[in-house]
Amino acid sequence: MNPALTSGVNGGPALLDAEALTSGPEREAWFAESAHRILADLVRGGAALGWVEPPSPDEVTDLLGRVLTAVRAGDASLRAACLGHRLVGLGYWQRYTRPTHRPHADLEKLAVDTAAQGRGVGRALTAALIADAREAGVEVLTLDARGDNTGALRLYRSLGFTEYGRLPRFVAVGERRYDKVFCMLDLRRPA
């Protein structure tokens, strides 16, 4: 049985937070399986998510476990999006661990199922994660993206992120090289 929620208001994605995603063993298992499907499919298709080869189910489960531990400690936010009864996206941020960087967090992963791209899922997830960061008192939210990920970079700019640096040809995927683009959103200013 799929324990997901249905679509949100006006046919947009329904957003779930970490509490909703871990409200029982069945939902946790569904989320881990669904997250693995999305991440593995995207990486298989060449997405810039930090893996060269699709992650295994255990890798995804371990990643989600680390993020959920950080969420419970108040050091992260995890969001997922559903369209109908299908998980179509997920994202999270985590606070930096260095004491001098604790007021800040890094948006570490945002993944939207290929079939759901262009339907506002990435925007809804990112906006929810930004709102969570504001509520948690995060001062600066950072992220990095592969330079050829123009759709994601356009989305981040439209939500107020600005580029603050670039490492040319830094990301190596086999023989291919891509820029690594660094972006930030200063949350100390009013929304």
The per-residue pLDDT for range 143-163, each reduced to its tens digit, is 999 999 999 999 999 999 999
Q: How far apart are CA 99 and CA 173, in angstroms?
A: 33
pLDDT the model gives residue 85: 87
What pLDDT sits at residue 3? 43
What CATH architecture is 9-186? 3-Layer(aba) Sandwich (3.40)
What is the per-residue pLDDT for 139? 97
Q: What pLDDT is stored for residue 10 in this prediction?
A: 63
Full strand arrangement of the beta sheet holding 140-146: 14-17, 76-83, 86-95, 104-112, 140-146, 176-186, 162-173
Write down the domain spans for the chain.
9-186
Look up the pTM and report it. Answer: 0.92
Residues facing 112 on adjacent strands: 89
The pLDDT of residue 2 is 46
Q: Which residues of the chain have pLDDT under 70?
A: 1-11, 191
Cβ proximity of 130 and 141 under 8 Å: yes
